[in-house]
Amino acid sequence: MAKKKPSILVVNDDGITAKGIKVLIEEMQQLGDVTVVAPEGPQSGTGHAITIGKPLRIDQIHIYPDTLMYKCSGTPVDCVKLAVNKVFKGRKPDICVSGINHGLNNSINVLYSGTMSAAVEGAIESIPSIGFSYDDFDADADFSNCRPYVREITRQVLENGLPKGALLNVNFPNVPEIKGIKICRQADAKWAEEFDERTDPYNRSYYWLTGIFDLRDRGEDTDVWALQQGFASIVPVQFDMTAHHVIPQLNAWSFNVK
């Protein structure tokens, strides 16, 4: 009896027609049965936003052969929620993969990323999940170097699983040849934002978000370091945001509430 193929949910935040998701679909088709639920347009930077107060729509479309595909009017997280509840009808896929994002989601970016939030939602649903990102914002980015790593990392998760509540944040450098994989921690870095103020034709101010990447972490075990050295970085992350090390300190405080 032939072994049943794993069911693979593919999502992203760049929109269902982005090149990154096409590459991810092609690689996942080599591993299992692919179902795609992705935003109908770009949703970068939406984080873990969900749609409340207006209807959500999900429509089956046909873009790539041999692939069950749905476009969603909502956010990347909405896509995962609708996939689990309506497309899979409560039956969980074997894995959820998100991306491949056009642009890195290393360090603090994981908090803002729609790509990673979709993967986090998969993990919340107890689905082994991975977010993939590549250091190239070009709409026609060349993902060739990423392909074997995407396939192998996904295969490993399918075979070995992940601990409950954990998922993988995978980033690829834009280099002629990726040197290999480094298992990393998230770097202590953030964007030092600036807002470029301009004036519209009605003499009202408006702003463009700009800024510089402020790396305060010089460790050689971080995702930023690995990417700078030409390695793919894998950071295991979790949605439990409890600062466990702070609990003893808070328990030592005296709360005199009258």
Question: Could you state, in order of their start, the residue ranges of all structural domains in the chain?
Answer: 7-186+219-251
105-156 pLDDT, tens digit per residue, is 999 889 999 999 999 999 999 999 999 999 999 999 999 999 999 999 999 9
CATH topology of domain 7-186+219-251: Stationary-phase Survival Protein Sure Homolog; Chain: A, (3.40.1210)
Q: Half-sphere exposure (CA, 13 Å, Cβ side) for 159?
A: 7
* Residue 75 predicted with pLDDT over 90: yes
pLDDT score of 66: 80
Strands 232-238 and 33-39: unpaired
- Its pTM stands at 0.93
197-235 pLDDT, tens digit per residue, is 999 999 999 998 887 777 888 889 999 999 999 999 999
3-class secondary structure, 208: strand
171-199 pLDDT, tens digit per residue, is 999 999 999 999 999 998 877 778 889 99
> Which residue in 101, 97, 109, 103 sits closest to 191, CA to CA?
109
> Which residue in 163, 202, 170, 198 sits closest to 186, CA to CA?
170
Whole-angstrom distance, CA of residue 11 vs CA of residue 28: 12
